[in-house]
Amino acid sequence: MTHDIDKENMRQVLLDFPNQVKIGWVLGADITYTDIENVIVSGMGGSALPGDILKCYLRHELKIPLIVSKDYFLPKFAGKNSLVFVASYSGNTEETISSLKEAARKNCKVVCIASGGKIEEHAKVHNLPFIKIPEGLQPRAAIGYMFFAMLKIIQNCKLIESKEKDVERAEKALRKDIYDELAKKLSAKLVDKIPLIYASDDLGCVAEKWKISFNENSKIHAFYNIVPEMNHNELVGYTNVKGNFHVIIIKDDEDFRRIHDRFKVMKEVIKEHDVPVTEIEIKGDCYLTKIFSAIYIGDWTSYHLALLYGTDPTPVDIVEKFKKKIR
């Protein structure tokens, strides 16, 4: 029955995801630059996600700005001392190609990442570093290749301390046989619900990824927000609940104690307004493990929810139709 719904075998893609950690790390091994004043990740959709995760992961360590640019143009400050990752899974994303041309004009330190397409052609013509990632995936399912290649290059550039051991820990954690069953149980709670996902800033990229996975895998609306900011505005929305919501709180066992206090009170307040709440506490031997373990739970949950809806989790037909119309 699963094969009748999951026609492009997203299940196998998820099972193979831990392999992306080591492969991505190796893909970035031979690229380095010096004299870098800022880092820019240019991408759209699933190809921008690795940049969002990088920004989250390195927020306490990177001493220079890291900007994720989801636009046709780079930030005005981009220049010869900017490390610019140009990321497009297909290699044909028009906004990203526009940014690549601008980066070349400004003599930025460019690294192109794609499975092929026009970006690969441009990289070859202009002799730019190019990381070729495997074809045949949806961009959101290839974030491991992109993220770990970028992280390796940032390390090569001596902008951060070595992450070798943490990368090994994260890969090992993703190979544990726990994610599938945990996700099945959670997905059963979410049938006919609109997921609202909350996390602290340290796991904000995880909440964003869960939201996107529900959008693109389960083909439903989902929304996310960050604590404590959410406590100052969105919380008031529970006064007049107008949707069939299910709240998911993603907690880091090492979140600041006041964040833990806020989650506890939030749960009480939300339940008072008859909205169900599920808490997921993320544990791990390092921050990188926590981020990717939490992301992996979300990917599996959105996959199983898609099956419960009888929806193939892989294609994004509405996006493809939109692209054709916009052309």
Task: Give the residue-averaged pLDDT of 112-123.
Answer: 97
Q: For residues 31 and 218, what is the distance between their CA atoms, to the nearest angstrom?
A: 37
pLDDT for position 1: 62
**Does the structure show a pLDDT above 90 at 128?**
yes
Cβ burial of 252 (10 Å; 0-12, 13-18, 19+) is buried
Residue 2 pLDDT: 81
Whether 232 is catalytic is: yes
Entry pTM:
0.95
Tens-digit pLDDT profile for residues 91-108: 999 999 999 999 999 999
- Summarised one tens digit per residue, pLDDT across range 180-217 is 999 999 999 999 999 999 999 999 999 999 999 999 99
Give long-range contacts, CB 8 A cutoff, 24+ apart: 96-104.
96/42, 96/43, 96/44, 96/47, 97/122, 98/72, 98/73, 99/42, 99/69, 99/71, 99/72, 99/73, 99/74, 100/42, 102/73, 102/74, 102/78, 103/42, 103/74, 103/78, 104/128
Q: Active site includes 216?
A: yes
Q: Which residues contact 136 (CB under 8 A, 6 or more apart)?
A: none
> Looking at residue 212, what is its pLDDT?
96
- Please identify which of the residues 122, 216, 290, 304 carries the catalytic annotation: 216
**In the chain, which segments carry CATH 3.40.50.10490?**
2-162, 177-308
Query: In the 3-class helix/strand/coil scheme, how is 180-202 assigned residue by residue?
Result: HHHHHHHHHHCCCCEEEEEEEHH
For 71-86, the DSSP string reads SSS--TT--TTEEEEE
Confidence of residue 326 (pLDDT cuts 50, 70, 90): confident
233 contacts: CB under 8 Å, gap ≥ 6:
none
First to last CA, the chain: 37
Catalytic residue flag (residue 221)? no
- Catalytic residue of the set 232, 242, 324, 325: 232
When pLDDT is averaged across residues 8-36 and rounded to a whole number, the result is: 97
Tokens of 64: 């220079």
pLDDT tens figures, 270-302: 999 999 999 999 999 999 999 999 999 999 999
Question: Which CATH superfamily groups domain 2-162?
Answer: Glucose-6-phosphate isomerase like protein; domain 1 (3.40.50.10490)
Model confidence pLDDT, tens digit, residues 131-174: 999 999 999 999 999 999 999 999 999 999 999 999 999 999 99
Task: Provide the CATH number for the domain formed by 177-308 in this structure.
Answer: 3.40.50.10490
Return phi, psi of residue 15, to 5°: -65, -30
Q: What is the pLDDT of residue 3?
A: 78
Give the residues across from 281 on adjacent strands.
251
